[in-house]
Structures are given as C-alpha cells and as structure tokens.
C-alpha cells in the first residue's frame, strides 16, 4: 500500500483562473474550506468528504451529490501530476482550461483506480460561491414522477439545479427510527421523496419564485403530493442529514446488500417498479430501500435482510439478489458501478458487462503502461 | 482517407435523459436544429458548424465559443461507438451519465485525432433551450480589464455566462473595412473589445439587471470604456458577425500567420502586452490582430504581413514569429494548440512542449492499440 496522506499541501490557489493545485493527500473538506475563504466553491460533494482525499477521488472518478451541476471528478480535473510505473513523473499542472496537444494523459489516469500510475497532485476547477440556496423535500406518488419533475426543473432553470436526490419511504422510515431527532419533512405516507437543491451565484435570481412555480404546477397535476421548503440553513441541513444518514440507518437495522447502479433515465422508473416487484415476490424477507442521485440516473439500490439471518443463508440470498439485479441491469443497458468503480469485488462482473473488444483494449493499455503489473495489482483486472 | 459523411443518421433523441445519439457524419448545424425542435440546445458552437461533423469534432476535442459554459467536446460526449485498428467495434452508447466500470475508452479516443480508432457514433448531452439571451460589446482600456471583467461577471452570475470573447481594435478595423455593412458598436478608439453573451433557461432571471449592475460598476471604475447591449436578435447577430468575420477579413488584407494558443489566465494580459511589444519592435511590417475565447484563456493570436511580401521573405518572417511566440508560450507555461490539435504541422512542436516521459507514454499507447500504425499514420506522431 502506498499512502499519500502526508503529501497534503495545497500548492496554489489562482483566483484569476479559479483553479486550485492540490496534492493527492489533501482532504476534500480542506479544499472546500480553503476555496470558500478565497470566495470560491470546490464542488466535489459527498458524505465522505471529511476523510476522502484528492488522489482517491481522482483515481476513482468520484461522483457525489453535485455531479448533476458540476460533473464528476473527470470534469473538475484540468491536469495531473503522476508517477508512472517506470518511475518517471509526468505533469500537466499548467493552469490551462484548453490544451489539445497530443493524448490527454490525465484522462487516462482518472478513474483507472491506480492501475496505470500514482496521482500525486492535480489542478482542479473552482466555481464562484453560491449566494443563494433553496432546499426542498417533495413527496411524490411514484418513481416516474421523479423523472417528470427533473425535466420540469431543468426546463424552468437548468442552471440552478445543484442536487436532485431520491429517497424511498422505507429509507426515510429507517432514518427516523435510528437517528435521534429526525422526522419526515411533511407527510410520511408517500412511496418516494425527492431532495432538491437549487443554488444561484446571484442574489438577484428569483430562486424561490422559480421553485414555487414548478412545485405549484406539479402539485396541481398530482406529480407532487407535498413540498416542504427549508426555511433556514439549519432546516436545510436537517433535510440533508436525512439523506446522508440512510447508509448508517441500514447498518443499524439489518444485513445489507448494496448496489451502486446507473440506468438510462428513460428506463429508471420501470426498473424500480419491476425489479422491486421481482424481489418482493421472492418472499425472502428482503426490505428494499433505494436512494441516490436520480438526477444522474444513479441509484444506491440497497436492501437488507433481517439481522437474525444466518451467515450461510445470507450468502445464498445475497448471491440470488446479485444475480437478479446485475441481470436486469445488463438487460436494461445500465451500469453495474456508477461511481464506486471495480476494485476487487466487481472484477468478475467487469468481464460480464464489457465486450471482449473493450476488455482487450483495456488490457492492452494496462500491459503497455505497466508491463510488470506493479501498479495496484489485482484491482480492476486479474 | 476514410470519409464518414454518409454515415449521418441521428439514431435517437431521448428527451427524458436529454441525450442525442448521432453518427459521425452528422453536421453540427443539423444537431442544433434537431435538438431545438425537441426543445433542447446542442451547445457545441463554432463558425464552422455548418460543415463540421460530429466525428471530426470528437476526434479533435473541438472547442468553440460555448466552452466557457458547457465545456469542450470531451465534456459533451457520454459514450462512443468506434472501430478499432484490429477491426473490432466497441460501443459505450448506453445512455448513462455515470459509469465507472473500467477504463473510460471513450475519453481515450476523444482528441486522439483518429490515431487510435475511427469514431462512428456518439451519445451527446443536450441542455434545455435558453429562453433569454443578452449580448453586449464592451470597449475596454487594456487586456487586463478583460480578466477583471471575466471575474466580475462570474461572481455576479457565473451560471449565465455563455461566451466571453476578445477582439482587438485592429481585428475589428479590418472587419469594418472588408465586410459590407459592418461597423464598430459604439466607440472605435479602444484597444480591445469584448463580446459577452449571457443566457438563462428561465424567463424570470433578471439578466439585464445583472449585466447592467456589472457594467455600471465597471464603467464607473474605468475597467470598461463603453458598453453596447444588443437591443434585438438582429443586432445580437450583427455583433456575432463581427467576431466571426475576423478570419476572412485577415485573409482579404494580408498574408496571415496564425496561432491557436492557451495561457494561464493570470499571465494572459502580460503575454499580450509583452509579446505584442516584442513583435512590434521587429519593425517587420507585421500587424497583430489577436482575438478569441479569452474566457477560456484561449487566443487566436493572429497577425499578418502586407500582401506584397515575397514568398521567401514571408517564410523567413513566419519562422521568426513562430520562434518568438512558441518560445514565449513555453516560457509562460501555455499551450501551443488550445483547440486545433497537432495534426501534421505541429508534430515537431509536440516534442518541444511535452516531456520525454509524456511522449513515451503517448507512444506506448499508440503502439499498444495500433501496432501496425494504420490509423491516421503520420498525424500527431512521426
């Protein structure tokens, strides 16, 4: 294991270009803080930002809750410094937004999970701080309504949409059960809830008026059952706390089976309805509690079995659930790993989801750049 | 030469996901039209969009005037279909926004100038149509003011900034001389002009108020000498016509020497001032007329010699100018090709601008994927 946590300097923050140069060991939260002090937003946002480091985020092409607005890590990286398998160091830390000179080697390393080289530093984009935010939780009648509302909010003001997250009632029920002081915002009987955040860099933008227009229309047409707008920053944080407490609540309740999947948006509601019905029909005591970045077509399609289930029975059940879910994802042209990568656990699945030509191309690149297989051996490929 | 112009179908436009699937031969203007009919914006925007094709845009990672807002081609491509050197076809045309399963092969092919495979189709992002636009031309006292104003507009409303282009007085003088019916918007005695476009998907956004606030402050502080807001779509088109007529006006006037360069924003004004002075000091009859995407740090740093100059003298002068400009770009950590790629002409420069380790990595990738060098041989590399 190579640990870069002590390589944690922020080398430069250029306010003219709105670019920060950070070493691999810098914690994301630190980047948020340093950027904010200089009047900027570093947009990479995820529950683990207090411990996740720049190098890890880049090597896994990390996602999170702000991908909808700012893109994933791949879109935030302008250049990299990296150590190659042969010991050479390459650097594209020139603070350039555009540079079409030869192959973009940074893009080769982003998301390669450390198998092609070790990222040691990066130039990353910053954005102006948002001077207005609006967070709302909407109760909706079905998964299809989530997609309708996504389109409505985009049409009404695409540039303001900072987050568009879905939470099942079951997920929120567990949170309110296990997390002290939490409760449903508004009614608690809808099958699905959306957590929507809008933001604007101008105080002149009528965010509230815009949100009320979309929500008013959606309520009138039955696409929304209820909408609660956070009236303070504290309340906005409470809404986000609900969303971010889902994984811990699941752990408190049962034995989890987790999936990080993506689907084409047009097929996402059908997936939730139909695969949910298939799993229910097993009558295996599985409780589904999907949530996630539905605005990106990315769900943490999680579920749990009762805590009491024996290890062997659980392993068999898990295998059965994986076969169902991965089979359906393949059939519906989705992704078996939207933001969590391949690592060790999903290596066998990679072969199932990619064509022989794609796998051969990946292996050819790996062999060419790391012929002795010294970079994170055993990850992504065997 | 492989010509894909007849492979020109738009295979699918998915309004839920806001993704279009287009073949390599589709002309960009066609994509604009088809997207607009469905209520969407296809944001790739450049003077050549009436003839440029999807495959070419992808293989060159094309830029244009909307990179500031929507990113370059690399950011608009979600997946590709491509023929590899061994004849195999790979496809990532699943309509997914997030997919972290193995190396992102699409990103490897984008900007590779056809040297790693032939792109035959792509899934591309669409955005909601903008329902408001504001175009203004500002006269400014110096290049530094352009960067100050960029920061001001970003702080005031980053999400509205669709284009931020600079034009030198010399460039506009040539346009008004050679293009019938054109004239300076407002005063004609400033050294530099900015063409700024703001856009919003919501009619509720007070774009004009926001622009007037920034411009009013800039005029009061002397960062802006004059600002003319287009009062109609016709006038907005006239402003853009000025910008887009610069290359033809140069051709009408003299023998051109062209550069497509990028610089870190913080060093861009000094480059213009200092390298401009160096070239003037040659007293070689060269007229500088830089213009371009200054919001991205990208300039078309163009100049011309009088038409009467002999072929031999012009060749020597061109060489001298290239040595100066490329030397200064290297010294100031810029890019010798911001959006135009390497092709044949800039092959020798690639070696000068990249480290041996970077060149070795590029060559290793090329050798691994195209061992017989049958894909666009002689481009990018020798």
Residue of A128, A293, A358 with shortest CB distance to B155 = A128
Shortest alpha-carbon distance between residue B137 and chain A (Å):
22
**Residue A369: which of B364, B161, B201 has the closest Cα?**
B364
Residues of A in contact with B201 (CB under 8 A): 154-159
Contact B337 A159 (CB under 8 A): no
Q: According to the model, what pLDDT value does residue A47 have?
A: 87
Radius of gyration of chain A (CA): 22
Reply yes or no on whether the pLDDT at A382 is more than 90.
no
Count of CB atoms situated within 10 Å of the CB of B328: 18
Residues of B in contact with A90 (CB under 8 A): 355, 357-358, 361
Could you give the C-alpha distances from B75 to A64, A76, A158, B227, in angstroms and in order?
18, 10, 17, 32
Bridge partner list, A256: A304
Shortest alpha-carbon distance between residue B19 and chain A (Å):
10
Q: According to the model, what pLDDT value does residue A51 have?
A: 96
Give the pLDDT of chain B (382 residues) as one tens digit per residue.
899 999 999 999 999 999 999 999 999 999 999 999 999 999 999 989 999 999 999 999 999 999 999 999 999 999 999 999 999 999 999 999 999 999 999 999 999 999 999 999 999 999 999 999 999 999 999 999 999 999 999 999 999 999 999 999 999 999 999 999 999 999 999 999 999 999 999 999 999 999 999 999 999 999 999 999 999 999 999 999 999 999 999 999 999 999 999 999 999 999 999 999 999 999 999 999 999 999 999 999 999 999 999 999 999 999 999 999 999 999 999 999 999 999 999 999 998 889 999 999 999 999 999 999 999 999 998 8
- pLDDT tens track for A297-338: 999 999 999 999 999 999 999 999 999 999 999 999 999 999
Q: Name the A residues in 225-284 with CB < 8 Å from any B CB.
A: 262-266
B14 reaches A (C-beta below 8 A): yes
Q: Is residue A293 within 8 Å of residue A65, measured between CB atoms?
A: yes
What average pLDDT does the structure give for chain A?
A: 96
Percent of chain A at pLDDT exceeding 70: 100
Residues A116 and A381: their CA atoms lie apart, in Å, by: 12
Count of CB atoms situated within 10 Å of the CB of A118: 19
Q: According to the model, what pLDDT value does residue A207 have?
A: 96
B297 reaches A (C-beta below 8 A): yes
- pLDDT tens track for A178-237: 999 999 999 999 999 999 999 999 999 999 999 999 999 999 999 999 999 999 999 999
Q: How many CB pairs under 8 A join A and B?
A: 293
- pLDDT tens track for A277-305: 999 999 999 999 999 999 999 999 999 99
**Residue B17: which of A79, A51, A147, A134 has the closest Cα?**
A147
Reply yes or no on whether the pLDDT at A352 is more than 90.
no
Three-state SS string over B283-294 comes to: CCCCEECCEEEH
B98, B119, B342: best mutation site toward chain A, by most A Cβ within 10 Å? B98
Which chain B residue shows the shortest CA-CA distance from A80? B358
Residues A380 and B334: their CA atoms lie apart, in Å, by: 35
Residues A290 and A262: their CA atoms lie apart, in Å, by: 12
Contact A111 B89 (CB under 8 A): no
Radius of gyration of chain B (CA): 22
Residues A190 and A170: their CA atoms lie apart, in Å, by: 10
Could you give the C-alpha distances from B30 to B16, B36, B44, in angstroms and in order?
20, 10, 12
Residues B272 and B144: their CA atoms lie apart, in Å, by: 9
Shortest alpha-carbon distance between residue B267 and chain A (Å):
9
Residues B95 and B116: their CA atoms lie apart, in Å, by: 23
Query: Taking CA B258 as the corner, what is the angle to CA B257 and CA B261, rounded to the nearest 5 degrees?
Result: 140
Q: What are phi and psi of B62, to 5 degrees?
A: -60, 150
Q: Look-up: residue for tokens 């990066």?
A: A122
Q: Is residue B88 within 8 Å of residue B126, measured between CB atoms?
A: no
Q: According to the model, what pLDDT value does residue B352 have?
A: 84
Helix, strand, or coil (residue B354): coil
Residues B361 and B359: their CA atoms lie apart, in Å, by: 5
Could you give the C-alpha distances from A350 to B101, B134, B377, in angstroms and in order?
7, 48, 32
Q: What are phi and psi of B306, to 5 degrees?
A: -55, 150
The two structure tokens encoding residue A303? 């579920």
Query: Taking CA B331 as the corner, what is the angle to CA B325 and CA B332, rounded to the nearest 5 degrees?
Result: 90
Instruction: Please state whether beta strands A132-140 and A192-200 pair in parallel, antiparallel, or not at all (unpaired).
Output: antiparallel
Residues A206 and A193: their CA atoms lie apart, in Å, by: 24
Q: What are phi and psi of B231, to 5 degrees?
A: -95, 0
The H or E element that residue A163 is part of is strand A161-168
Could you give the C-alpha distances from A19 to A16, A34, A274, in angstroms and in order?
8, 12, 45
Angle between helices B246-253 and B233-244 (to 10 degrees): 40
CA B315 from centroid of its chain's CA atoms = 27
Instruction: Please state whether beta strands B298-300 and B77-83 pair in parallel, antiparallel, or not at all (unpaired).
Output: unpaired
Which chain B residue shows the shortest CA-CA distance from A128? B155
The two structure tokens encoding residue B172? 């506009």
Continuous H helices in A128-193: 143-157, 169-178
For the stretch A11-17, contacts whose Cβ atoms lie closer than 8 Å and that sit 24 or more positions apart, written own/partner, are A11/A121, A13/A38, A13/A40, A13/A126, A14/A95, A14/B264, A14/B265, A14/B266, A15/A39, A15/A40, A15/B151, A16/B147, A16/B151, A16/B265, A16/B266, A17/A95, A17/A97, A17/B264, A17/B265, A17/B266, A17/B297
Burial class (CB in 10 A: 0-12, 13-18, 19+), B314: middle
**Residue B194: which of B228, B146, B152 has the closest Cα?**
B146
Q: According to the model, what pLDDT value does residue A197 have?
A: 98
Residue of B264, B346, B380 with shortest CB distance to A96 = B264
Average pLDDT, integer, range A96-112? 97
Q: Is residue B235 within 8 Å of residue B181, measured between CB atoms?
A: no
Helix, strand, or coil (residue A152): helix
Q: According to the model, what pLDDT value does residue A119 have?
A: 98
Q: Is residue A228 within 8 Å of residue A136, measured between CB atoms?
A: yes
Q: What are phi and psi of B214, to 5 degrees?
A: -65, -45
Q: Quick one: DSSP state of residue A24?
A: T
Could you give the C-alpha distances from A378 to A344, A346, A381, in angstroms and in order?
7, 11, 6
Helix, strand, or coil (residue A133): strand
B38 reaches A (C-beta below 8 A): no
Q: According to the model, what pLDDT value does residue B47 have?
A: 87
ipTM strictly over 0.90?
Answer: yes
Q: According to the model, what pLDDT value does residue A351 have?
A: 87
Q: Look-up: residue for tokens 């003319």?
A: B228
Which chain A residue shows the shortest CA-CA distance from B380? A102
């Amino acid at each position: 294991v190579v640990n870069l946590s002590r390589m944690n300097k922020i080398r430069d923050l250029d306010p003219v270009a709105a670019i920060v140069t950070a070493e691999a060991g810098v914690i994301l939260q630190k980047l948020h803080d340093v950027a904010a002090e200089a009047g900027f937003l570093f947009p990479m946002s995820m529950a683990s930002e207090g411990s996740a480091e720049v190098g890890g985020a880049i090597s896994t092409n990390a996602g999170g809750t702000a991908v909808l607005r700012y893109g994933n890590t791949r879109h935030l990286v302008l250049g990299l410094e990296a150590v190659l398998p042969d010991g050479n160091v390459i650097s594209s830390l020139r603070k350039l937004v555009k540079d079409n000179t030869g192959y973009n080697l940074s893009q080769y390393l982003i998301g390669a999970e450390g198998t092609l080289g070790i990222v040691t530093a990066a130039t990353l984009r910053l954005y102006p701080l948002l001077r207005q935010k609006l967070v709302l939780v909407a109760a909706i009648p079905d998964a299809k309504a989530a997609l309708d509302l996504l389109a409505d909010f985009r049409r009404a003001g695409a540039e303001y949409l900072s987050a568009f997250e879905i939470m099942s009632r079951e997920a929120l029920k567990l949170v309110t059960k296990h997390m002290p002081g939490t409760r449903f915002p508004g009614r608690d009987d809808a099958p699905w809830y959306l957590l929507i955040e809008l933001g604007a860099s101008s105080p002149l933008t009528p965010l509230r008026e815009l949100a009320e227009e979309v929500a008013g229309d959606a309520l009138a047409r039955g696409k929304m059952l209820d909408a609660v707008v956070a009236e303070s920053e504290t309340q906005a944080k409470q809404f986000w706390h609900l969303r971010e407490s889902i994984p811990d609540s699941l752990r408190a309740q049962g034995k989890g089976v987790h999936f990080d999947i993506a689907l084409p948006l047009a097929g996402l509601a059908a997936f939730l309805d139909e695969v949910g019905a298939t799993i229910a029909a097993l009558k295996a005591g599985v409780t589904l509690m999907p949530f996630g970045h539905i605005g990106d077509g990315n769900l943490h399609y999680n579920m749990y079995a009762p805590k009491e289930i024996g290890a062997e029975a659980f392993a068999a059940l898990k295998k059965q659930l994986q076969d169902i879910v991965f089979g359906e994802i393949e059939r519906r042209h989705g992704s078996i790993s939207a933001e969590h990568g391949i690592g060790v656990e999903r290596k066998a699945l990679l072969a199932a989801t990619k064509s022989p030509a794609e796998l051969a191309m990946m292996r050819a690149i790996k062999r060419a750049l790391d012929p002795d297989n010294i970079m994170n051996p055993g990850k992504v490929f065997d």
